[in-house]
A and B are shown apart, each in its own frame.
Chain A
């Protein structure tokens, strides 16, 4: 039994590693400007975690194989170095490894969250509500009209509760169900929650951020590749959570301008 168990451990460890090494199920390609340090962090961590995982499972299997079914006359021996050696190894090896991960990870995190958006970043507002995302562009005046929650009406397609009749800033606001952005242009995403908690996740953009009801948060990013990507909700928001998504369309500047004009005409 012990030998069988040892073999099973090694098999499981090796078989588990295969899909990781072969990237069978994997992250999509990074299309953001800030994603490289994050991906690098991921590879570093994967390598270190992988080594720790394989080494410790193999050691476990080896020791089970070697030290079970021993004869009564066999002597019990201690690992050279004893507990002290192991504690030192843990502090030195694991300690430095995690400290390094923490330090470099902090840099990756800071590049996303501690850099302010560029002055010419394009502002887009996204509102998350049960169970859809809606987007708002400020229009030619560059300002968003104010939000009047009491005016929200799904039936009249006034998703944001803007007063297009009386509010001059709101008159040229463009509301869409799809998010289109020009490629290679920084976007400043203003995130507003209509009802409960939601989250904004685009895998390819290496962006995930929760909406906080009562607190307007914002993030910024730049997409580097044209294409259609999915925005999905990752914060449990009710029965329609699984279905809450929108498309992110990254287009050339020219295509984007045309699209925006078209959307403006449909308001």
Chain B
């Protein structure tokens, strides 16, 4: 028996249900577990958004059975103002952390990164397993805040101090609710750090023979860049959450200033800095949104290339641009704080890197568009969602032009314009990336194909529906509609209510359409058409595993050797117009990367 003891990766195939499916060291199982967590989270987040939107359109109406969900928050089925804010806070938090940071990065990345670099597993499988279960515990802690007497925190996913730090005197849910929120997020940070550790070491140290860094597919680069961002961003959020908890339970005053009076009572804190929380939070918060989108960019590029039958106009320019986004993302965070009261000179300073970040974003979109030119585009559910991502990223990105400028931010800050901007890039584009990856990789993960007709219907209705929901947010913002309002009582907001009703109807309808996807996912899992070995005729290593799903050690005891760049399409190959990375045949009329 030959020596397989190189590194601690070599664990024997697991036996027993628990070791195979629950506490599994296998990165593929861990990836699926993350996906399942994200799926549960997105359904919860979506229902929360329905409750919010119904209330916004019809704020005096009762929502049947709402009192069963939380009797204090909806006496007689009428949503109280604080309950709206609590639902809103949990919607944002669950979506950003447990869906957008989890699915594109932790779910797909865990599953496919080791395979795409040609490894049997990640180098620290125990840490990897821990990262999932730590994230799961974090989710439980977050959801538990729904069940405490005062309910969850109402301070928004941004939890600005002093509202978040001064305790329950500032509002329902601001006591235990905030502590649970902060504890959950601190735990989440630990899970992410363990995950980033594995992703970085996998990419740098576990590549198969012949797999140079430039030969990595764009998905691998997306995950690598994201994991570096995650390492630095989450490492800052965690101490911030700890300090917030201390302000609550230990009487410290990191974030709470002196002489604050609530309900006619002078608060005991003194000297804390309101803006400190914002600086710490947004130092994390801005890279976080790039953590949410960069894996999607990698997935979309990867899926599109396979479906265009040609590589991108420049592989390296895309990688450099994603890297530039990551680097710049640390320099722009102050654009969330233009009118916060920080030094106005800082506001001006932050606006320049923010405007500059449009350049790599534009390059990425132009490369995508330019590569579509002259290609042989195949239309299927995966490629449709990838193309939809481009449209959404353009729309969301363009509204960034406005928000990058402090003078315009005077008008648009804290309005629905901002909400429209981030929903288009995160809630739609990033989700489209997840859908695209799902449709594309489902055959590899399960050995079955998803139903194409259902996929196309899902796509078209979702594409139209999400535009119907989020494009009007920009009009509301231009008219000055302030965000985080549970009802619209101001005079100037009255004429905007019909538009809100339109949005609500679109939101509920589009949400219901997602059940087509859920049905397709589960039905195909059990009854889908058996998938061919390489249904998309793709070149990267995940399509050269001996089976779908791949065997326990990914390559069936063999170690792959890589001969080519990741995207040899449009060439004369032995199996068609492509040559796989692991195929030793020479590429005729190829374009190997320098």
Contact = CB atoms under 8 A, between A and B. Distances in A.
Physical contact A–B (CB less than 8 Å): yes
Interface of A: 1-2, 4-5, 8-9, 12, 16, 19-20, 24-28, 37-38, 41-42, 45-46, 48-49, 52-53, 56-57, 59-60, 63-64, 67-70, 74, 76-79, 82-84, 86-87, 89-91, 94-95, 98-99, 101-102, 105-106, 108-110, 112-114, 129-130, 149-150, 152-155, 161, 193-197, 199, 201, 203, 206-215, 217, 230, 232-243, 245
A214 B262 contact: no
Contacts of B394: 52-53, 56-57, 60
Interface string B306-330: 0011101110010000000000000
Interface in B366-390: 366-367, 369-379, 384, 387, 390
Contact of B410 (A20, A102, A208): A208
Interface in B390-442: 390-391, 394-395, 398-399, 401-402, 404-411, 413-415
B476 interface: yes
Q: Which of A82, A238, A240 has the most CB of B within 10 A?
A: A238
B401 A195 contact: no
B317 A206 contact: no
A161 B467 contact: no
B594 to A, nearest CB: 13
A233 B489 CA distance: 12
B414 A234 contact: yes
Contact of B407 (A37, A154, A234, A241): A37
B513 interface: no
Interface in B66-104: 80-82, 85
A68 B377 contact: yes
Contact of B274 (A86, A105, A197): A197
B362 interface: yes
A152 B262 CA distance: 9
Contacts of A112: 407, 410
Contacts of B405: 41, 45, 101-102, 105, 109
A79 B313 contact: yes
Closest 7 CB pairs of A and B: A214-B257, A83-B314, A77-B374, A113-B344, A212-B341, A242-B485, A108-B407
A206 B410 contact: yes
Given A12-B464, A63-B372, A90-B359, A238 B170 contact: yes
20 contacts: A38-B407, A42-B408, A48-B401, A52-B394, A56-B394, A74-B376, A76-B376, A76-B570, A79-B374, A83-B370, A94-B362, A105-B407, A106-B351, A113-B347, A195-B267, A210-B339, A214-B259, A215-B275, A238-B85, A240-B81
Nearest to B81: A239
B154 interface: yes
A216 to B, nearest CB: 10
Interface in B447-469: 456, 460, 463-464, 467
A239 B384 contact: no
Nearest to A82: B313
A86 B395 CA distance: 19
Contact of B172 (A2, A106, A233, A239): A239
B478 A27 contact: yes
A214 B373 contact: no
Given A67-B372, A196-B170, A109 B359 contact: no
A60 B391 contact: yes
Nearest to B401: A49
Interface size class of B (residues with CB under 8 A): 35 or more
A214 B480 contact: no
B43 interface: no
Given A26-B478, A86-B366, A154-B264, A67 B375 contact: yes
Query: Residue among B166, B399, B414 with the most chain A CB within 10 A?
Result: B414
Given A82-B313, A209-B339, A25 B407 contact: no
Interface string B141-185: 000000000000011100011110010001110000000000000
Contact of B154 (A56, A203, A238): A238
A110 B271 CA distance: 30
Interface stretch (B203-211, B216-224, B491-499): B491-499
A236 B156 contact: yes
B156 A41 contact: no
A211 B344 CA distance: 14
Given A90-B359, A161-B261, A109 B480 contact: no
Nearest to B390: A60
Contacts of B367: 83, 86
Contacts of B395: 16, 53, 57
B273 interface: yes
Nearest to B379: A2
B170 A208 contact: no
Contacts of A37: 407
A51 to B, nearest CB: 10
Contacts of B275: 212, 215
A99 B486 contact: no
Contacts of B260: 149, 193-196, 213-214
A195 B162 contact: yes
B44 interface: no
Given A16-B471, A91-B359, A211-B341, A98 B401 contact: yes
Given A106-B348, A201-B414, A232-B482, A79 B384 contact: no
Nearest to A80: B373
B499 to A, nearest CB: 7
A16 B467 contact: yes
A30 B366 CA distance: 37
Contacts of B51: none
A78 B163 contact: no
A69 B341 CA distance: 55
A68 B379 contact: yes
Contact of A232 (B267, B390, B490): B490
Contacts of A24: 475
Interface centre among B362, B377, B464, B474 (most CB of A within 10 A): B362
Contacts of A215: 257, 274-275, 341
B484 interface: yes
B534 interface: no
Contact of A101 (B359, B371, B401): B401
B446 interface: no
B252 interface: no
Contact of B272 (A74, A91, A214): A214
Contacts of B312: 83
A63 B414 CA distance: 37
B487 interface: yes
A64 B372 contact: yes
B212 interface: no
